Structure 1
Amino acid sequence: MTSRSLFATRFYEGALNDALFVEELDHACRMLAEDDRAGRAWSKEHGYRGYTSYASLNDLPLRDPTFGELVKRLNKHVAAFATDCAFDLGGRKLKLDSLWVNILKPGGTHSGHIHPHSVVSGTVYIAVPPGAGPLKLEDPRLPLMMAAPTRDEEAPEDLRSFVYVAPEEGSVLLWESWLRHEVPPGTAKNERISISFNYR
């Protein structure tokens, strides 16, 4: 008797490997949060515990050369991930569609969601204090499992219903945009800063 895994879900873990550049991004994110009154107002109105530029600014790579440099680096990671996923892009490359800053205050969360109309989504982590909430990934088959029993606590990662990834500063995480994910609350005493993005 044999069994094998089918319909694999790819998840990419990379790194910027440049502490000085991560510091520059940290400064750029904090300055943006100070200057973006519309983003702060949107965050407050929608109960976002902290700040996000998601609904206020769509030109960060043009607005600040630090974000422009980040996009150049992310392009290489996304190209490698697209190859690993065996995407047939007809000789074209995936291109950045949107990029936004997230600054979560202690206790902040981001509920489960997907990124419609995109191919690859991801996050690069700028400040990850001890106890910061991880990235929680959900098995996309859950709505179809009907009467399936729960998994053993010691089940291999590829058989679990949820996988938790604890990033570090400079981590680059990528996944296909249909993969549901969230940020559960953590116990950190300081802000968790990340930059999220979508590619089409």
Structure 2
Amino acid sequence: MALKSLFVTRVYEASLAEERGFPGFNRELEDACRMLALEDAAGRAWCREHGYAGYTSYASLDDLPQRASVFGQLKTRLDRHARAYAEALQLDLGAGRLRLDSLWVNLLKSGGSHTGHIHPHSVLSGTVYVAVPPGASALKLEDPRLPLMMAAPPRRADADEDQKAFVYLAPQPGTVLMWESWLRHEVPANRAKAERISISFNYAWR
């Protein structure tokens, strides 16, 4: 008997914490995220209007790498990881290349969550984690075949990770996670007493 693994979903994981000077860089990132949360009145208004428990710059700011040098430094690091991920996925980019299309900050308060979604206009999406207090939410990833399994029984509780319908990845400060943008994902309720701080991003093919 032979089993073939076909149409595999590959999720990229790396850590900025392994890089030289990470503690200072991460503190600067956290300070910049908190500064935006204080100064971005439009972003705070959007969060109130849409019931976001905390702050996100998603709908208000689209120039973070130009706004603060630490975000520009982060972009340089993320570009390197995006190239490595694209190579691992064996993407044929032709004459184009992957470009950072958007970068936004998330400060999720205790009890806050982010419901399941995809990023339909991008190729690669991901998140780098800045502050992950005890009890902070993991990233929940959903098997993309799930909507097609109309009559399938559930997986066993002890099923291998690559056979589960949902996988939870628990990041640490500095963790970089990337996935193809069609992969549905969510952030369950934050059980930490402190804010969970992350920076999310999209790469488009141009």
TM-score (norm. length: structure 1): 0.98
Q: Say yes or no: does 1:163 pair with 2:167.
A: yes
What amino acid does structure 1 have at the position aligned with 2:193?
Answer: K
How far, CA to CA, are the matches of 2:73 and 2:62 in structure 1?
16
How far, CA to CA, are the matches of 1:2 and 1:33 in structure 2?
54
How far, CA to CA, are the matches of 1:179 and 1:119 in structure 2?
10
Q: Which residue of 2 aligns with 1:15?
A: 15
After superposition, give the CA deviation of every residue in 1:152-190 in whole Å (9 maximum; x if it has no partner).
011111110000000000100000000000000132010
Contact 2:108 2:190 in 1 (8 A): no
Say what the alpha-carbon RMSD is for the aligned residues: 0.8
Q: Which residue of 2 aligns with 1:134?
A: 138
Q: Say yes or no: does 1:113 pair with 2:117.
A: yes
- Equivalent residues in 2 for 1:47-196 (5 A)? 47-196=51-200
Q: Secondary structure at the residue paired with 1:95?
A: strand
% identity of equivalent residues: 65
What amino acid does structure 2 have at the position aligned with 1:16?
Answer: L
Contact 1:121 1:176 in 2 (8 A): yes
Q: Secondary structure at the residue paired with 1:100?
A: strand
Contact 2:190 2:196 in 1 (8 A): no
**C-alpha displacement of 1:91:** 4.7
Size of the alignment, in residue pairs? 200
Runs ≥4 residues deviating over 4 A: none
For structure 1, the residue ranges without an aligned partner over 5 or more in a row are none
How far, CA to CA, are the matches of 1:20 and 1:81 in structure 2?
26
TM-score (norm. length: structure 2): 0.95
After superposition, give the CA deviation of every residue in 1:7-49 in whole Å (9 maximum; x if it has no partner).
0001000111212111110000000110000000100110000
How far, CA to CA, are the matches of 1:43 and 1:150 in structure 2?
36
What amino acid does structure 1 have at the position aligned with 2:7?
Answer: F
**C-alpha displacement of 1:59:** 0.6
Stretch of structure 1 that moved more, 153-162 or 15-24? 15-24
Contact 2:109 2:190 in 1 (8 A): no
Q: Secondary structure at the residue paired with 1:198?
A: strand
For structure 2, the residue ranges without an aligned partner over 5 or more in a row are none
How far, CA to CA, are the matches of 2:96 and 2:29 in structure 1?
29
